[in-house]
Each structure stands twice: as structure tokens, then as C-alpha cells.
Copies of this chain bind each other. A is one copy, B any other.
Amino acid sequence: MALGDAILACLTERPMTGYELAKTFDSSIGFFWKADHQQIYRELSKLRDRGHIQGREVVQSGKPNKLVYTLTPEGRTALRHWAARPSTPASTKDDLLVRLHALDSIDIEPLRTDLMARLEHHRDRHANYERILKKRFPEGTAEGRLDLGNLLLLRLGARHEQMVADFCEEALDALSAMTGKATVVPLDEGKREGKG
């Protein structure tokens, strides 16, 4: 059980509905933890059965009623106990790395395309982290404990994305050096002389 604890962690900030949680898992905590709404609703039921959270129905007009979930004291305790256990370092499990491991048995062109897409992806994410950092922590310092955690997270995220983006560039360069082609050459779609 880890997704459940991630949800508990989210609910420490403020009570939320499953719908809000799903959106949260699409932005802030979702930067390093993916979960779709089905997973979240399922986990919420389990947490409620366990007594770790408590739902309060809020009647709305104009929208379906919503269930706002709040941490119970038991939930807080459970979270603290979970957080007191040593964490297990997760393994990366990135398809891209597996492909690099079998580099001489796969086609390089699609790999190159993939690397370029990933480069863009990680650059985007890096820019996004930097944007949030500048907005939430213009001084680069945190005041409260909650802020400190999020500042550290954002910094780690930014650095990670930066590093992976650099890696993609490097890999692309190395592939180009190996195949003797220029890095991208998307222009000049005319005739191309053979390379051997």
C-alpha cells in the first residue's frame, strides 16, 4: 500500500474530494506519482473502510453532490507510522533504458525520434518546475515545514528533469557520431547521398 499513503499525504493539506484528488495527482504530487481517478476512488473506499479517512457529503446545486474526505485521527497516526518506516528506494523502470541496453538489436531511427520526444518532454517539465519555483519561492527559501518539503521536492524535480534532458541530448549526439549523420537534419528533404 503506497498509493493510499500518498492520498493520506495529500489530505494533510486540506480535505478534498476524489475529483480534486484526481486533479492533484495530475499536477503537484502527480509530478512523481501517477494515478487516474479510478485508482483514486478505489483507494478512497479502502481508506474509508479502514477508518483512515471520513467522507462528508456536501450537497451542491448545479452539480452532483460531492464527498469531501477528511483525515481521521487514525488516518493521521497511520500516516505518521508509515512515514516512520524506512523507505524503499524505487527502481527506475524506464523503457528507454532497456532499449539502450539492447542498442545493437534495435532500430536507431525510432530510438532517435523517441529520444527527441523525451528531450522535449523533460525540457517542458523542467521549465514547469522552474516556473512554479519562481512563483512560489521567489526568494529560494521556505518559511514553514510544509513549504520546506515542497521547495525541496520542486528543486529535486527540476534537477532531475534537467539531468535527464541533458542525457537525452548526449545520447542523441553519441548516436549521431556513431552513425555519421548530423543530429537532426530535418531540412533539405531532397536527395540524400548514401552514407557507406
Decide if B103 touches A145 in the complex (CB within 8 Å): yes
Decide if A118 touches B101 in the complex (CB within 8 Å): no
Residue of B whose beta carbon sits closest to that of A106? B83
A132 at the interface (CB under 8 A from B): no
Q: A79-B102, A149-B102, A149-B103 are contacts. A156–B97 as well, Cβ < 8 Å?
A: yes
Residue of B whose beta carbon sits closest to that of A159? B163
Q: How many residues of A contact B (CB 8 A)?
A: 72
A65 at the interface (CB under 8 A from B): no
Residue of B whose beta carbon sits closest to that of A146? B104
A76 at the interface (CB under 8 A from B): yes
Complex interface: chain B residues within 8 A of A89 (CB) = 94, 118, 121-122
Q: How far is the CB of A169 from chain B (nearest CB, A)?
A: 11
Decide if A101 touches B160 in the complex (CB within 8 Å): no
Decide if A33 touches B98 in the complex (CB within 8 Å): yes
Complex interface: chain B residues within 8 A of A83 (CB) = 99, 102, 106-107, 110-111
Closest 5 CB pairs of A and B: A103-B149, A9-B102, A83-B106, A104-B145, A32-B92
